[in-house]
Structure 1
Amino acid sequence: MQALLFDQSVQRIADETTGPITYQPDVISPALAARWFTALHEQVAWHGGTRMMYERMVDVPRLYSHYAIDDPLLPAVLGTALAVVKEQVQAPFNSIDLNLYRDEHDSVAPHNDKLHELVVHQPIVLLSLGATRTMIIRRKMPPHLKTELALEAGSLLLMGWNAQLHYDHGIPKLQQPVGPRISLAFRVRPHATGSWGVRAEGSDK
């Protein structure tokens, strides 16, 4: 299922016991990543949203979209991206969530995926396009080990289903200016549909 586990260029952040979580840079070239970013930035119908936080409604600090794999309106770039991902990770992906981080003010809080909306033992794979942003991966149980991982354009991050039980992950806001980033999250859902509401980086939160 997870060919990335056997690639010598892959950085292993968590093992099979609590993960796996692996990171592979340069899955596609910087030039191709830039073309895909431009196409998706222009073609996708991006949405905003709100959520309850601290007893008040606040704007979700990023834009998002979603496509089921069999959606007739699936942009061609996403179909090509899916083929690239499946060359690296053998899984029956049926859902792609997109998140657009417009600048340094956009973020996602530490979280894990909701397991009831994922097929058991199937991985989550994130493909990054655009500016590099740092993901914080933190183990839930003591000693709360933390990894700061720079997600570069053209890279893949794989998270095993069981990693959601042991780790939180998030992308913090930054103090310094940074350009926009698009994240593509490939998942295997029990029932893929065309509308999923607000999506976070590797999560439903």
Structure 2
Amino acid sequence: MHAMTQFSLFNEGPLVLLDDASGRIVYEENVIDGATADRWFRQLSDSGIWSQKRRVMYERELDVPRLTAHFGFRDESWPDPLAEAMDHVSRHTGETFDSIGLNFYRDEHDSVAMHNDRLADLVEGRPIALLSLGTTRRMLIRSKATPRRRFDLDLNPGSLLLMDWQSQHHYDHGIPKQTQPVGPRISVAFRTRRRSE
């Protein structure tokens, strides 16, 4: 049996979803003001950074149900406003990051399956920060083992979800498809990746 927690759209201040031996996950609204979040969304959605990946599923090659982009630390090809966003999120969290991964959910049909970040690619102990732009979308966060815990969280534009490294061992997260029409959303994920030897 799952213990499910669903959170309101109207939270005041940081919301600590999880803070125990299995990790720490904190959600905070209005980290980016509305006008700035709208500007960043327009700049990114109109840019030419997006690619459509394909993957093999059930012996068929299919389009990944979202568009993606990735940039390493201070990549010369960074479009506006990624440097601005990186600086803002770093100041807000007190953390430094060296890569940005982006997902563009164009409508209700786009999604990402339940997963955890690949810890082998990340510097141990460093958090992952997810900045949301565009339309509000629901994220599911589920524990991998007992006691079964589930959080359903609406990610609003301008909000930041901070997941520590340890939480990726114990929790999966995903953005499900929606049954009702929904507008586009961009997720901007800030990480610290391992440097190749």
2:69 is matched with: 65
Are residues 1:52 and 2:56 paired? yes
For 1:4-57, what per-residue CA distance to the aligned partner results, in whole angstroms no more than 9, with x for missing partners?
A: xxxx81111111411111100001111211110000111242000111222322
> In 2, distance between residues paired with 1:168 and 1:99?
17
Q: How does 1:91-106 map to 2 (within 5 A)?
A: 91-106=95-110
Aligned residue in 1 for 2:30? 26
Q: Which residue of 2 aligns with 1:37?
A: 41
Gaps of 5+ in 1: 1-7, 193-205
Cα distance in structure 1, aligned partners of 2:122 and 2:43? 28
Gaps spanning 5+ residues in structure 2: where?
1-11
Greater per-residue strand proportion:
2
Deviation at 1:63, TM superposition (A): 0.1
Deviation at 1:67, TM superposition (A): 0.9
**Which one-letter code corresponds to 1:140 in the other structure?**
K
C-alpha contact (below 8 Å) 1:44/1:65 kept by paired residues: no
Provide the residue aligned with 1:155 in structure 2: 159
Q: 8 Å contact 1:134–1:171 — kept in the other structure?
A: yes
Q: SS at 1:85's partner residue?
A: helix
The letter for the 2-side match of 1:28 is I
Which string of whole-angstrom CA distances, capped at 9 and with x for unpartnered residues, describes residues 82-121 of structure 1? 1110112122210000110000000000000111000000
Write the letter of the residue equivalent to 1:100: F
| Paired letter, 2:110 | D
Paired amino acid for 1:40: L
Q: How many residues align?
A: 185
| Percent identity between the two aligned chains | 50
Where 2:126 maps in the other structure, the secondary structure is coil
Runs of 4+ with deviation above 2 angstroms: none
Cα distance in 1 between the residues matched to 2:180 and 2:159: 22
CA distance in 1, matches of 2:61, 2:142: 27
- Is the 2:74–2:83 contact (alpha carbons within 8 Å) kept by the matching residues of 1? no
The amino acid that maps onto 1:151 is L
Separation (CA, whole Å) in 2 of partners of 1:120 and 1:53:
31
Contact 1:134 1:172 in 2 (8 A): yes
Q: C-alpha deviations, 1:129-165, integer Å up to 9, x for none?
A: 0000000000111232111000000000001001010
| Structure 2 match to 1:139 | 143
Query: How do 1:110-129 and structure 2 match up within 5 A?
Result: 110-129=114-133
Amino acid at match of 1:69: F
Residue in 2 that maps onto 1:5: none
TM-score (norm 2): 0.90
